[in-house]
Structure 1
Amino acid sequence: MLSFVNTTYLGFENIARKSVYTSLSKDLALKADEQNLTTLAKNAKFSKDEESSFKNTIHFTDFVSNTKISLKISDENLSNLKAKFAGNISLQEDGSYILKKEAESIASGWFADIAYKRGYLKADANNDGKLSDEERKNIYSYYGNGGFYSTSGGNVATVMATEAYSYLRAEEDFRDFTSKSLEEEFNKTLEKDSDFNGEILYGEMMSKGQMIAQAQSYIQNEGYTPPTFLEDMMDQFDQLNKKMLKDLKKLLEEKRLEQEALEKAKKELEKTAEIDIKHSNDQSLDKNLEKIENLKSQNPESQSFKQSLNLKEFSQAYMQSFKVDLKKELILETLKKQNDINYPLDMSKTKIDLKI
């Protein structure tokens, strides 16, 4: 037999939030078997007054069979219903209560879940309103958890709960998972669903300690997946993790090299563009100086030459020397936009000595 010393238990907080039972709604009614269910409901017998430990009678309509149902509930459950649905519970002259609207909906939904889905009415083979031990074995109200475990020697090192299940046949576990009558189970269910949201969670039925004890019992009886499976799964996860890290490092290195190459190419392009711009400026300046020299040589005193040296013409000739090739300017502008880096063209630093 395996021992549980310093065992680590994982996943039980998630299991505690899983649904065990849910009330049926009209949209989820069991239509496929409606005729048989209606017969069961109309012929159903519940505990007699002298046999019941509950003293408050409530009346509501079972929406599956459209049958009027009368059950007895505890003082606590009646008080909770009144607090939640004060305007939907009517006191009758005989001291019983008629449930309407939301109050009737929650009572009818849980009745349908217990009577039909869990199978209490069908399990009551002799229809006496009470369930024998043999009849209780046929009720579908068992719930449990499943998962994996690992061992170290004869000790369980880790238990990992991964799933919850319910609505299974009780069989030999009927004492822990069923009641002796539908009425008793109805009261237990209302107590658990104290907020009347139509859902009962695993954690509302069992404490974490009880869930762990249940898992330990499964492990001893081979109800959990054996260690080899968990170990194989962990090995596969480890291998996958190593492969992912290796691929990530490779990708980062490729990106780094690509970035370096891109930066180098941009620097080369920038350098080439600056050289071409300077060359273009030099050529433009040489041409304008040559034009001025030609005019001067033709007739330094001519009116044409004097007019060419007026301020307007000289400014135009001076500015012409700084015109750049449009294609080169476009290159620099593209670099600025792509890299968000300023590449100023400060032409004031270019020294020109014009002697006429």
Structure 2
Amino acid sequence: MIVNKTSIQTALYKDSKNFKNIQVFKASNLVTNKLNQDELKQVEKSLNTLTDITQGWAKGEKSEYDNIVYLSNNQKGINIKIGLSDENLNTLSAIFKDDVYKTANAEYILTGDAEAFVGGWFNEIAYARGYLSADIDKSGAIDANEIANLKTDFSTKTKIFSKEKDGVISADKSMTWIANRYETATHLSYEDHEKNIISIEKTLNETLIMDKNKDGTLSLDEIYQQNQWIDDMSQKVGEILENRAKDSEILVKAKIKIAQNEIEFKNIMLNVSKDTQDFIYKMLFKDDGSDKISNLLSQLSKNFDESIGVDKSV
């Protein structure tokens, strides 16, 4: 029996088109608080006196990003100062326009929808993914000893529906879904290879870029590279189906052997006395049913099928 690997690729490709509907992470919902120009100028005057500024970079270091942005996290009652990349700042300015206010010192204050969008992702990273609580020494960076406290991972499951015909196992379709969100991390998800720093700031910038449609959610198609996922899954599914093919061949041989044994047993039972038959059945089943040979063979077959039954999906 052989496996049709092309059918696996086709099934996975069709399934991956639904990835945009499968949500992985979601930004926190924040109340939109839009300031007018006069209010923004007042905030600008008090930037140096704001309390509870949460920096996204490690203590003693400056942001690796050129654009310093301020926003008020109205859900947690704190003010945030964080660096954004040129790409993220330009995208925010294009989408949210005057909600991105440039100060005289060439820094930026976010308000309205821009503030809610960035603040929502900051919250999700800081609290749901656990960056703030993971940073035990409050250094502003997650080190190797703290990485195990993050909840940045998630797991997916893919079910393959297959069929067997004329010695070929083919995949009809597949179905993928999120099994668990916010799992404990086993590696640095967004590793800075130069500084070996993972921080809220870096992860926020990565997340803002990954959120391609800027809807406050990360779907599977925004996280996975479709072709890479299909290649990886095809290999895994192919191995599973090949093992199933081997199991099926073993099953066929086993059934032939059972059938041979059934015939041999039936011949033996037909050539012994009734008293001997009764003794055998009483020892095996404690049963004095009328059609003993048929009952025994039926039970043997049923037990065998149940014990080696193969699930048709993975």
Give the shorter-chain TM-score range: 0.5 to 0.7
Displacement, 1:176?
4.0
Q: Shift of residue 151 of structure 1? A: 8.8
Note if contact 2:27-2:217 (Cα within 8 Å) is conserved in structure 1.
yes
Q: CA deviation at 1:143?
A: 2.8
**Structure-2 change in CA distance of 1:24 and 1:156 (3 Å):** farther
Per-residue CA deviations over 1:221-260 (Å, capped at 9, x if unaligned) read: 99xxx993335x9xxxxxxxxxxxxxxxxxxxxxxxxxxx
**Compared CA separation, residues 220 and 201, structure 1 to 2 (3 A):** same
Name the CA distance, whole Å, in 2 between partners of 1:145 and 1:213. Answer: 16
1:6 aligns with 2:6: yes
Structure 2 gap segments, 5+ residues each: 32-50, 193-197, 246-309
The farther-off stretch of 60-69 and 160-169 is 160-169
When residues 156 and 186 of structure 1 are mapped into structure 2, their CA distance, relative to the original with a 3 A threshold, is farther
Does the 8 A contact of 1:47 with 1:183 survive in 2? yes
CA RMSD of aligned residues (A): 3.7
Q: What secondary structure does 2:133 align onto?
A: helix
Residue of 63, 71, 74 corresponding to 1:63: 74
Which has the higher relative contact order, 1 or 2, with Cα contacts under 8 A spaced 6 or more apart?
2
C-alpha change, 1:216 and 1:59, in structure 2 (3 Å) is same
Instruction: Name the structure 2 match of 1:168.
Output: 182
Quote the Cα distance in structure 1 between the aligned partners of 2:91 and 2:169: 44
Distance 1:6 1:101 in 2: 50
**Which residue in 2 is equivalent to 1:26?**
30
CA contact (8 A) 1:145 1:215 kept: no
More helix by share: 1
Q: Which residue in 2 is equivalent to 1:85?
A: 96
Alignment partners' CA distance in 2, 1:213 and 1:63: 44
Deviation at 1:84, TM superposition (A): 1.2
Cα pair 2:128 2:182 within 8 Å, conserved: no
Q: Displacement, 1:106?
A: 0.6
Q: Verify the 8 A CA contact 1:141 1:178 in the aligned structure 2.
A: no
Whose radius of gyration is greater, 1 or 2? Answer: 1
Q: How far does residue 107 in structure 1 lie from its aligned partner after superposition?
A: 1.1
| Contact persistence 1:44–1:121 (CA under 8 A) | no
- TM-score (structure 1 length as normaliser): 0.51
Instruction: Give the 3 Å change call, closer, same or farther, for CA 60–23 of structure 1 in structure 2.
Output: same
Please name the residue that 1:196 is paired with: 214
Unaligned runs of 5+ in 1: 28-40, 234-356
Q: Secondary structure at the match of 1:171?
A: coil
Query: Percentage identity across aligned positions?
Result: 22
The alignment covers a number of residue pairs equal to 214
- Output the CA distance in 1 between the equivalents of 2:169 and 2:24: 27
Match status 1:113 vs 2:124: yes
C-alpha distance in 2 between matches for 1:201 and 1:105: 19
Post-superposition offset of 1:45: 4.6
